[in-house]
Chain A
């Protein structure tokens, strides 16, 4: 029997993708496809987990019991989303332990957006509406990606994100109906979160080194710029609806393309935060490390209990 060469296998793999087939964990895949997915998926999982920190900051100070219950549920969802994606990534033969080690050592990246601080209650609104709004656009596209476990995790997440998105908008809509101070607080939050939210889609297509390969493998289905445009087009009318101003002097609806033209994004800031020089980079990692260390006794105790229980079962 003819054993297929690496080249033949790659050709067949690409043909499967082109036919719209999904790739499952035990299927043959190019090593590079596996590596790229591990990189993307683990970054995504880390983002969910680190994303709990800026919001967790406001749980004790939420302005009402209703808001507190909602925020708790949302933060718990983010932890759950992290777990969906970690378990999806584990199907690519990398352990969760390894991924978490890479996060805590600073080797792995997570979304830069979470290196910005949550200074006011309005920021909780902005995160839900803008940050989760951007994430929904991204994740809806990823739900159609070629790797089965990633796609399935995204479908689950997208269902849950809609609540996050709407509760954020509700917070800002409420503030915009409030006192002049409350409206100013909402606008200030919009001013600080708008541009970092646009950066969440990643560098412009011409500067995105991985995009070509990921598009060919249908891991990515749309370019960064296309997704960013989609987010802008649906978000600007929502802002106008509650009287928030988008902090972009060049923003203008283009009746020919039916899209909003927008101003230049400050990519120097983006790369600076990625490099670790954002306002909260150090604080976020420190908080994750502490949480991991302080939780060690729980993991050990549960393991000891399980081991003891097993002994008893054997003895009986």
Chain B
């Protein structure tokens, strides 16, 4: 019955300058201009954004849950990267 749903875009919004962009959701749109306009209408009806990024969903590359263990291993086994690994008797670091 429907004949087109247009490509999918992922939407990222920045609440105000200085803050990181956050994934808000996705929209369908035929091109980048309409993707931006749809993203504004769907994800920022109450000043939730001062800036919006839209990215064709097909260009988002994600790590997979299956390789979660080995993929993030390099960060798991280096507890000495955290300050609380170190003993600093009596000294204040505030």
Give chain B's interface residue range (CB within 8 Å of chain A): 20 to 34
Q: A105: CB under 8 A from chain B?
A: yes
Q: Which A residue sits closest to B38, measured CB to CB? A: A83
Q: A97: CB under 8 A from chain B?
A: yes
Residue interface bits B58-84, CB-to-A below 8 A is 1, else 0: 000010110000000000000000000
Stretch at the interface among A35-43, A88-96, A252-260: A88-96
Knowing A101-B1, A105-B1, the reply to whether A303 touches B6 (Cβ < 8 A) is: yes
Does B4 contact A299, Cβ atoms closer than 8 Å? Answer: yes
Partner of B41, one of A80, A96, A289: A80
Q: Which A residue sits closest to B34, measured CB to CB? A: A302
Does B4 contact A87, Cβ atoms closer than 8 Å? Answer: no
Q: B45: CB under 8 A from chain A?
A: yes
Does B4 contact A300, Cβ atoms closer than 8 Å? Answer: yes
Knowing A88-B25, A160-B46, the reply to whether A97 touches B41 (Cβ < 8 A) is: no
Give chain A's interface residue range (CB within 8 Å of chain B): 20 to 34
Question: In the complex, which residues of chain A have a beta carbon less than 8 angstroms from the beta carbon of B27?
Answer: 83, 87
Partner of B2, one of A24, A28, A292: A292
- Number of residue pairs across A and B with beta carbons under 8 Å? 66
In the bound complex, what is the Cα–Cα distance between A95 and B26 (angstroms)?
13
Residue interface bits A147-165, CB-to-B below 8 A is 1, else 0: 0000011001000100000
Chain B residues 1-41 with CB under 8 Å of chain A are 1-6, 8, 25-28, 30-31, 34, 41
Does B8 contact A306, Cβ atoms closer than 8 Å? Answer: no
Partner of B42, one of A83, A101, A305: A83
In the bound complex, what is the Cα–Cα distance between A296 and B2 (angstroms)?
8
Question: In the complex, which residues of chain B have a beta carbon less than 8 angstroms from the beta carbon of A87?
Answer: 25-27
Knowing A80-B41, A90-B8, A305-B30, the reply to whether A104 touches B65 (Cβ < 8 A) is: no
If over half of A's interface residues share one DSSP class (helix, strand or loop), that class is named, otherwise mixed; here it is: helix
Smallest CB separation, A225 vs chain B (Å): 32
Partner of A96, one of B3, B5, B34: B5
Does A101 contact B2, Cβ atoms closer than 8 Å? Answer: yes
Question: In the complex, which residues of chain B have a beta carbon less than 8 angstroms from the beta carbon of A302?
Answer: 6, 30-31, 34
Does A96 contact B28, Cβ atoms closer than 8 Å? Answer: yes
Give B residues with C-beta under 8 Å from A. 1-6, 8, 25-28, 30-31, 34, 41-42, 45-46, 62, 64-65
* Cβ contacts A to B, 18 pairs, < 8 Å: A24-B65, A26-B62, A80-B41, A84-B25, A84-B42, A87-B25, A90-B26, A97-B5, A100-B2, A100-B5, A101-B2, A104-B1, A105-B1, A299-B3, A300-B4, A302-B6, A302-B34, A306-B34
The 5 A-B pairs of least Cβ separation, nearest first, read A306-B30, A306-B31, A97-B5, A87-B26, A302-B30
Give A residues with C-beta under 8 Å from B. 24, 26-28, 73, 76-77, 80, 83-84, 87-88, 90, 95-97, 100-101, 104-105, 152-153, 156, 160, 289, 292, 296, 299-300, 302-303, 305-306, 309
